[in-house]
Structure 1
Amino acid sequence: MNPIERALGILLLLTGGKLIPATTLAERFQVSLRTIYRDIDRLIALGVPVDAERGAEGGYRLASGYLQPPVALTRNETAALLSAMALTRSSRTVPLADDLTSAQKKLLASLPKSVHGLLKDAERIVGIEPIPADIFHSGTKAEANKDWQKALDGFMAGILDSKRVRFEHCNPVRQTVKPHEVEPYGIMFDRDLWYLAGRCVDTNVVKVYRADRVRNLEVSGLFFRPDKTFSIQSLLGGAWLSNAMRRWEQEEEIARILITANQARKLSADWYYRHAVFTPTDDGRVLVSIPSTERARILPLVRWLGPGAELIEPADLRKEIAEELAELAGLYATDRRTEPAG
């Protein structure tokens, strides 16, 4: 029996779910214990999740859930899944992208030949319009890269294996890189970006991290007990952003803009700024407090709000917008109308 045949035989024996000692495997295949150890290492190197337990009653077995029973899908069920895959792929970066590709190939292989050609290239019949650029919130734009994909894949692996993950989170505002150790709970997709949700071990708080700002993610060997009360649904509808803004208010400088009631109604419809703090004033206006003093964020907002919006703080940006408005006033004070051509 050659090594490949023996490795396949070991794999089949381990599918029963019971621990099989190395000595039993050695006797079964009439080889030394050292050879069995090499065979197990070879299986692990190929990506087969072999669990090993030491001790007198230890042995080897396949990780639970590695081999799944066959599932029979109808033609319509298969087409529905392929359509859902096309929708998912429109996000540019998806969790476990390589596994999604192999799953799609298996689905296609299960189709009857009469429709195989029709659905082989799903993008020919299922079109997904990409999410357009959000010019107003330019900071949310991110290009997919290998780090982003690695973060998604690693975080999903941590969820599936109930293992902690470690990574570095880059804050472009503070220009800092901070290490984190997290118990991964779930992922969500919002406005063309993936977010990772999990309990921060240092603070014991469930936090949300933008996947494109995560670097060098790795799954640790530390298991954790998943919180069965947690649901990613609790963070949807902007709840995660509202929670983050409350935390940012304790960490960041605050910009304050005095606006009219009508402008407040308009701004409260925005997906981002509706989570800011709106405080009514005695004169019927509203003071908006935003946990950011970024020039690129605050000045465009004031311009967009237009007349009736007064930037109160920070003082340096107030001075800058005043100079800008004075320049505009001078420009528009000149009548540029011309007589129509004869």
Structure 2
Amino acid sequence: MNPIERALGILLLLSSGKLVSATTLAARFDVSLRTIYRDIDRLIALGVPVDAERGAEGGYRLAKGYLHPPVALSRNETAALLSALALIRSIRTTPLAADLEAAERKLVASLPKAVHDLLSQADRIIGIEPVPADIFHAGTKAEPTGAWQRALDGFMMGLLESRRVRFDYANPSRQELRAHDVEPYGILFDRDLWYLAGRCVDTDILKIYRADRASDLEVSGFRFRPPKDFTVQSLLGGVWLSRAMRRWEREGPVARIKITPGQARKLSADWYYKHAAFTPAEDGAIVIGIPNASRERILPLVRWLGPGAEILEPTELRQELADELTALAAVHDGQGAGS
């Protein structure tokens, strides 16, 4: 009997739910106790939940409920499952991606053979269009990397085990990486990016971190008790972004642009700018405060808004925009092309 056949035999014996001693298994398969120990370790490494009890009356058995009968799915239920799996695959980075792939293989193996062919046709019959690039907010686009996946996986491990995580974080408004010690509470997905939600130990504030900006994440030995009243659903609908903007306003420079009420209505429909601060001005205009004063963010916005928009702060961008518009007007100030 080869190791694979013996491992299968052990699996069947342990599925009874009763404790089976290593001595009994060694006698049953005519091998040494050391060989049985290696076989059990091999099963555990493959993800089989083998429970062990020490003592004279101890032994091994499978965790209750591990083995299930084949799942009976109708054709419509199979199609629904295909659609869900296709949607998950369209997300460029997913938490615990390797574990998800292993779980999918196990699920497919447990299904009736009649639906295997349909499952194998998923890529042929179901297509998911990826989230298009948002040129207006170029900073929200990131390409998947191994570091991004490791950060997302590590954060999820800390969340599942109720352990703190440590990582270095690259805030675009700062030049250096900063170390963070965080109690992970949840994760959320927004516009093709994963975000990590957790309590920053140093500041005692619930913060949202972009997973692709976290690096060298490790799960620490410090356990914590997650708050019973927290739910990541409370951060959806842009709530997380609105909270983050209020914090960014306190921590860094804020650009201020005077705009017309009509332009304010336009920006209020944007997924990002609608969470900025809108303040009425004395002349009936609106002043929008944006917690990002970089030229890469502000100049394209004012160009898009057009006449009626005026940069108030930072003042150094006023002259740069004026020179640019003067040059652009010189090109277009004529009777037509080539005049």
The normalised TM-score by structure 1 is 0.82
Which moved further from structure 2: 69-78 or 8-17?
8-17
Is it true that 1:169 corresponds to 2:173 in the alignment? Answer: no
Name 1:89's counterpart in structure 2.
89
Q: 1:152–1:211: 8 Å Cα contact kept in structure 2? A: yes
Alignment of 1:114-133 (within 5 A): 114-133=114-133
Structure 1 Cα separation of the partners of residues 38 and 156 of structure 2: 29
C-alpha distance after superposition, 1:163-190 (max 9, x if no partner): 2211111123323211111111111111
Q: 1:133–1:141: 8 Å Cα contact kept in structure 2? A: yes
How many residues are paired up? 332
Q: 1:168–1:179: 8 Å Cα contact kept in structure 2? A: yes
Give SS of 1:220's match.
strand
Name 1:217's counterpart in structure 2.
217
Distance 1:69 1:14, change over 3 A: closer
Q: 1:258–1:288: 8 Å Cα contact kept in structure 2? A: yes
Give SS of 1:311's match.
strand
Aligned-residue offset at 1:129: 0.8
Structure 2 Cα separation of the partners of residues 17 and 186 of structure 1: 38
Structure 1 Cα separation of the partners of residues 233 and 162 of structure 2: 19
Name 1:318's counterpart in structure 2.
318
Which moved further from structure 2: 181-190 or 115-124?
115-124
- Between the aligned residues of both structures, percent identity stands at 63
Name 2:261's counterpart in structure 1.
261
C-alpha distance after superposition, 1:126-169 (max 9, x if no partner): 11011111000000110011111111211222222222211111
Alignment of 1:1-342 (within 5 A): 67=66, 72-75=71-74, 76-337=76-337
Aligned-residue offset at 1:312: 0.6
C-alpha distance after superposition, 1:241-277 (max 9, x if no partner): 0000000011111110000000000011110011111
Give SS of 2:81's match.
helix
Distance 1:333 1:28, change over 3 A: closer
Give SS of 2:154's match.
helix
Q: 1:276–1:290: 8 Å Cα contact kept in structure 2? A: yes
Give SS of 2:206's match.
strand
C-alpha distance after superposition, 1:199-231 (max 9, x if no partner): 111111111111111111122222221222111
Structure 2 Cα separation of the partners of residues 63 and 298 of structure 1: 61
Aligned-residue offset at 1:32: 12
Q: 1:255–1:289: 8 Å Cα contact kept in structure 2? A: yes
Structure 2 Cα separation of the partners of residues 51 and 115 of structure 1: 33
Task: Tell me which amino acid in the other structure corresponds to 1:225.
Answer: R
Task: Tell me which amino acid in the other structure corresponds to 2:94.
Answer: V
Question: Runs of 5+ in structure 1 lacking a partner?
Answer: none
Give SS of 1:92's match.
coil
Q: 1:15–1:61: 8 Å Cα contact kept in structure 2? A: no
C-alpha distance after superposition, 1:270-320 (max 9, x if no partner): 100111110011211000111111111011001011000000110111111
Aligned-residue offset at 1:70: 5.7
Q: 2:183–2:224: 8 Å Cα contact kept in structure 1? A: yes
Structure 2 Cα separation of the partners of residues 46 and 161 of structure 1: 20
Distance 1:290 1:53, change over 3 A: farther
Structure 1 Cα separation of the partners of residues 211 and 159 of structure 2: 15
Aligned-residue offset at 1:109: 2.2
Aligned-residue offset at 1:15: 11
Distance 1:68 1:113, change over 3 A: closer
Tell me how large the CA RMSD over aligned residues is: 3.6
Give SS of 1:128's match.
coil
Task: Tell me which amino acid in the other structure corresponds to 1:329.
Answer: A
Structure 1 residue runs of 4+, over 6 Å off?
A: 1-6, 8-18, 24-54, 59-66
Q: 2:25–2:36: 8 Å Cα contact kept in structure 1? A: no
Question: Runs of 5+ in structure 2 lacking a partner?
Answer: none
Which moved further from structure 2: 290-299 or 33-42?
33-42
Give SS of 1:184's match.
strand
Task: Tell me which amino acid in the other structure corresponds to 2:250.
Answer: Q
